[in-house]
């Protein structure tokens, strides 16, 4: 029986990566390149996106070569839809859309937080975890309920921001 193979793209922050993975979680390749900022400077969206654009095609070639597969063997293309920095996310999204049209492959948009949780489930074998997801502004208590991942807790400051946005109707 043929294993389902996905070609995935992650570019939500300063790292761009292209991975080849099977449905059971076997990683066939995972080349990445990290954008290092000049000293004293944070990650600026435009410069980070330019870095990703410069490195994404060589990473695709490397991922396919290391995995020893051709585009014909890929079943779907996955990319990080968010959360993350808009401009870097857009690089991967546009490349995936182009490859989807060229290779006639379906696209799967992936939530970055859920991807981390799912990787943890595969590694640990946990069936129904309650997760403390700690990632800067995305710190949350998350669990699977009613057919989807749901947020059951987050920092108070984030709760106040959400309430304020709801109050203003933004």
pTM: 0.84
Range of the domain at 71: 5-115
- Helices 45-67, 86-103: inter-axial angle, 10-degree rounding: 40
| 59 is a domain residue | yes
| Count of domains observed in the chain | 2
C-alpha–C-alpha distance, residues 152 and 26, integer Å: 30
Say if residue 21 is in the same domain as residue 98.
Answer: yes
Q: What confidence tier does 79 reach under pLDDT thresholds 50, 70, 90?
A: very high
Say if residue 94 is in the same domain as residue 137.
Answer: no
Q: How many other C-beta atoms can be found within 10 angstroms of the C-beta atom of residue 119?
A: 13
| 124 is a domain residue | no
| 120 is a domain residue | no
> CB–CB of 14/57 below 8 Å?
no
C-alpha–C-alpha distance, residues 163 and 170, integer Å: 11
- Residue 9 pLDDT exceeds 80: yes
């Amino acid at each position: 029986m043929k294993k389902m193979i996905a070609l995935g793209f992650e570019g939500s922050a300063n790292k761009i990566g292209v991975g080849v993975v099977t449905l059971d979680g076997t990683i066939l390749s995972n080349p990445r390149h990290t954008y290092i900022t000049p000293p004293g400077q944070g990650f600026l969206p435009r410069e980070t996106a330019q870095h990703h654009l410069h490195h994404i095609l060589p990473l695709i070639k490397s991922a396919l070569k290391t995995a020893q597969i051709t585009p014909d063997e890929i079943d779907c293309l996955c990319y990080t839809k968010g959360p993350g920095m808009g401009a870097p996310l857009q690089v991967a999204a546009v490349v995936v859309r182009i490859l989807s049209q060229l290779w006639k492959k379906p696209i799967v948009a992936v939530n970055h937080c859920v991807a981390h949780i799912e990787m943890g489930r595969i590694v640990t074998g946990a069936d129904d975890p309650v997760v403390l997801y700690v990632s800067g502004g995305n710190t949350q208590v998350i669990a699977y309920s009613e057919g989807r991942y749901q947020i059951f807790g987050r920092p108070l400051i984030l709760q106040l921001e959400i309430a304020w946005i709801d109050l203003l109707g933004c």
